[in-house]
């Protein structure tokens, strides 16, 4: 795959991003392991890592 630099950027809540990208909540595009992270987890919790394996 050939990667090229985006020509246009747009402002987003997380800063400037390529105009064809979207900012989404992690829960909208990933499965959350409820054995390790549930709805009671503090909103300011930070991850040490995120596993991308199934």
Q: pLDDT per position in the chain (54 positions), as tens? A: 666 676 899 999 999 999 999 998 877 887 777 677 777 878 787 777 666 665
Residue 53: CA atoms inside 13 Å, Cβ hemisphere, count?
A: 1
Q: Between the CA of residue 32 and those of 1, 35, 49, 54, what are the distances in Å?
A: 29, 9, 13, 11
The total number of structural domains in the chain stands at: 1
The answer to whether the pTM exceeds 0.85 is no
Question: Taking the chain, what is the end-to-end CA distance rounded to the nearest angstrom?
Answer: 24
35 domain-assigned: yes
- Residue 18 confidence (pLDDT): 92
Q: What is the residue range of 29's domain?
A: 9-39
38 — alpha (psi -120 to 50), left (phi > 0) or beta? beta
Q: Determine, yes or no, domain membership for 51.
A: no
How many residues make up the chain in this entry? 54
pLDDT, residue 45, reads: 79
- Structural domain contains residue 18: yes
């Amino acid at each position: 795959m050939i990667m090229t630099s985006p020509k246009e950027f747009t402002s987003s809540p997380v800063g400037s991003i390529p105009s064809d990208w979207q900012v989404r909540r992690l829960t909208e595009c990933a499965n959350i392991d409820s054995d390790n992270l549930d709805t009671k987890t503090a909103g300011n919790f930070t991850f040490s890592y995120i596993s991308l394996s199934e």
